[in-house]
Homo-oligomer: A and B are copies of this chain.
Amino acid sequence: MSIENPREFMLQLFHTAVESVSAENCLPSFLADLKSEGRTIVIGAGKAAAAMAATVERHWQGELSGLVVTPYGHGATCEKIEVVEAAHPVPDGAGQQAAQRILDLVQGQQLTEKDVVLCLISGGGSALLSLPAAGITLEQKRAVNKALLKSGAAIHEMNCVRKHLSRIKGGRLALACAPARVVSFLISDVPGDDPSVIASGPTLPDSSTSAEALAILKKYNIAIDAEVLQYLESAESETPKPHDPRFAEHEHHVICNAATALEAAAAASRAQGMPAYILSDSIEGEARDVAQVLAAIARQVADREQPFSTPCVLLSGGETTVTVRGSGRGGRNAEFLLSAAIALNGHKKIFALACDTDGIDGSETNAGALYTPDSLARAEALGLKPKEFLNNNDAFRFFEALGDLVVTQPTRTNVNDFRVLLIL
């Protein structure tokens, strides 16, 4: 096939991918099978929370009430469910108040076994539902968090500690809903889709233990106040474990994930006669190095017709990371794309797009960016040096200057990274 406009083609794949993981597209079929014999309370948190709540309102038969919290700018109009906006990724007072109100809501209504709590969980929910465990102050929790971030602890280690210092995470929110049945719907932004990891699993049992949390704090020499130590040594701090009978009636459904988005984009590509291959839905690693690998594979396709024939599209998802060394602006997708641009070095057959499906690449105003074979030549004409921008973690400004940012506004969903390599 021939592609008239590669930029538009790649953008179309991205928009198709995002649309495929919208609440409106994924949630209704799950709601159709569900009934409540009593009240139906909707709670939730994350970038998709408001969109999911609006979808529930449109498709749920029967009365509804509730409260969800979503990052600023991610709201949607709801009539029965209150939508609160709060700060992400660094929690603020609005989020903490909303978290407290959600707890009060499920604990203060004398819920019964006939009632159903619909919990709408998506990426970003962890920061939005930040509430310290009883007996620990917000300052103490923050101090531990800050020390952990500096310590070099792995993300699963940090999450283990966080879950054991929280009043909500690690299944505690589900316990608060007892004796009502909790049905959780999750949009996964986590490579591997472990539901207990998405938004720190507020309604899922947790296999990590308080003893492990203490061992991690010890391992990284993190000083903690006596109250924190006392809490973590108490039985109270233990999270509910898998197979806990209190979770026997609960359900959870991952309604969509990176694979959903990639499959939709692949189908849209194939429908236009363009073969599409999904390399992986869960690529992790430093963005600039991931870019070098994917660029090398694209060059192999372009130059040697292996492992795929041209033309074709290579799709991938996951969550790359950026180790910030410079002082520039840029998210991981723009940084990926700038490194790919340098590695592709104007190869005439290869085009690329890298965007965050939530519409926000890092903390910038764009979803990501586009690369075309003439990008480096256009940059040179403007006096821009790609390697200097990359060294300064300044990929946003590089693609901004080229007019190659992809801007969508918040998409109200989140299945993490989405990358296209188009090889003509």
Contacts and interface: CB of A to CB of B under 8 A. Distances in A.
Interface stretch (A247-255, A277-285, A370-378): A277-285
A289 interface: yes
Interface string A321-365: 000000000000000000000010000000000000000000000
Interface in A254-292: 259, 277-286, 288-290, 292
Nearest to A293: B293
A306 B282 contact: no
A419 B300 CA distance: 16
Kindly report how many copies of this chain are found in the complex they form together. 2
A306 B277 contact: yes
Contacts of A308: 307
A294 interface: yes
Given A154-B387, A286-B286, A278 B293 contact: no
A277 B387 contact: no
A295 B259 CA distance: 17
Nearest to A278: B306
Most B CB within 10 A of own CB, among A280, A290, A297: A280
A355 B277 CA distance: 28
A215 interface: no
A318 interface: yes
A280 B297 contact: yes
Interface residues of A, number: 30
Contact of A318 (B154, B283, B296): B296
B296 A282 contact: yes
Contact of A300 (B278, B288, B304): B278
B296 A283 contact: yes
A292 B296 contact: no
A191 B288 CA distance: 18
Contacts of A294: 293
B280 A284 contact: no
Given A289-B290, A290-B289, A387-B154, A296 B284 contact: yes
A283 B308 CA distance: 17
Question: Which one of A277, A278, A289 has the highest number of Cβ atoms from chain B below 10 Å of its Cβ?
Answer: A289
A290 B279 CA distance: 14
Contacts of A290: 285, 289, 292-293
Contact of A307 (B279, B283, B284): B279
Contacts of A318: 296
Contacts of A277: 306-307
A299 interface: yes
A318 B285 CA distance: 18
A367 to B, nearest CB: 22
Given A154-B387, A259-B304, A304-B259, A283 B292 contact: yes
A326 to B, nearest CB: 13
Nearest to A259: B304
Contacts of A288: 285
Contacts of A299: 280, 282
Contacts of A279: 296-297, 300, 307
Contacts of A286: 286, 289
A122 to B, nearest CB: 22
Contacts of A387: 154
B292 A278 contact: no
A221 to B, nearest CB: 16
Contacts of A343: 284
- In the complex, the 7 A-B pairs of residues with the closest C-beta atoms, listed nearest first: A289-B289, A285-B292, A285-B289, A277-B307, A280-B296, A280-B300, A293-B293
Interface of A: 154, 191, 259, 277-286, 288-290, 292-294, 296-297, 299-300, 304, 306-308, 318, 343, 387
14 contacts: A154-B387, A278-B300, A278-B304, A278-B307, A279-B296, A279-B300, A279-B307, A280-B297, A280-B299, A281-B300, A282-B296, A285-B289, A285-B293, A286-B286
